[in-house]
Structure 1
C-alpha cells in the first residue's frame, strides 16, 4: 500500500508538473496573444487615423473642386450675359450700318441728279453767253 501511495504521489506530482507546464505554456500563449492583439489594435488605430486624414483631405479637395465649379458656373453666366449684350449691340450696329448705307445711296442719287442739273444749267448758261 505504501508503494501505491508513493506511486499516487509520484503520479500526482507528475500531473501537477504537467499542469504547471501547461499553465505556463498557456500563460505564455495568452501573453503572446495579448501582445499580438495590442499590436493589431495599434495598427488598426493608426490605419483608422490615416483613413480619417485621407477622408479630410478628400473633403477639402471636394470642397475646392466644388468652389471652382461654382466660380466657373458664375463666370459662364456672366460671359453668356455679356455675349448676349454683344450680339444685340452687333445687331444694332448692323441695322445702323444698313441705314447709313441706304442714306449714302440716297445722297449719291441726289448728288448725281444735282450734278446732272448743274451740267444742264451750265450748258444753258454757256449757250446764252
Structure 2
C-alpha cells in the first residue's frame, strides 16, 4: 500500500506565469493561478506547478559540479516537428545535435533541462 500520492511536479523559476505558458504551449492543458504559484493542468497527465524563486539560478547541463537536479522527459511523435515548436517558444538546445538518438535535450526559458523523446 502506498503511503502517499504524487502531487504536481513543482519547478522553481523567476516568472511562474511565463514558464507555465511555455509548458501549456508544449503540453496543452490549462494554466490556473497567477503570482508566485501557477498550476498547469494537463489532460490525462501529471500536473505541473511553477513557483517563484527569488534569486533563481538555472541548473547547468551537463555539468557534474552543478547538478541539473531533475529533468522532464516529454514523449513526442515527431522529434523534428516538436523541436521546431519548442525552439519557436523559446527553448534553447543543450544537446540536440546527435540525430541518431531517440532523444534531444533542451532548456526551457527558465533554464530547466528537458528532453524530447521519440514515442
Instruction: Provide TM-score, normalisation by structure 2.
Output: 0.13
**Greater relative contact order (CA < 8 Å, ≥ 6 in sequence):** 2
Instruction: Provide TM-score, normalisation by structure 1.
Output: 0.12
Name the structure where strand makes up a greater proportion of residues: 2
Name the structure where helix makes up a greater proportion of residues: 1
